A = this chain, B = another copy of it.
């Protein structure tokens, strides 16, 4: 029994250690990211022309230094939905005997991206007003 607990402790310790080093890190994304996934995907596609799902998850992780990890359970349904809505086009490609589904913005998608980005700007501006109310010092 005591041995079991000791082993468990070692396991937990190593897990936590790994967490600290950002290796196994079962990162729980903040609630704040809810609703921003589509905007993120669209912006990345606008920038990179075409990307495949897995590539998107890795890109986001890299850009945010591991702070945001898009879960596949969120990503793939989102991509399928945007494809169904005519925002994205798909193109299959076989690389190294492994399949890839490349997504790119449609014309409509490109237009919608502009709106989404402006919404994001407004959102950020509003959130900043809310949390760091700058008294109008200009006069």
Contacts and interface: CB of A to CB of B under 8 A. Distances in A.
A117 interface: yes
Interface string A90-124: 00000000000000000000000000010110111
B32 A63 contact: no
Contacts of A120: 32, 127, 131
Interface residues of A, number: 31
Indicate how many identical chains form the complex.
2
* Most chain B Cβ neighbours within 10 Å, of A40, A60, A130: A130
A47 interface: yes
A67 to B, nearest CB: 6
B43 A126 contact: no
Interface string A10-46: 0000000000000000000011111110111001100
A58 interface: no
B128 A124 contact: yes
Interface of A: 30-36, 38-40, 43-44, 47, 60, 63-64, 67-68, 117, 119-120, 122-124, 126-131, 133
Given A34-B35, A47-B133, A68-B126, 10 more contacts: A30-B123, A31-B35, A31-B38, A32-B123, A35-B35, A40-B127, A40-B130, A43-B131, A64-B126, A124-B124
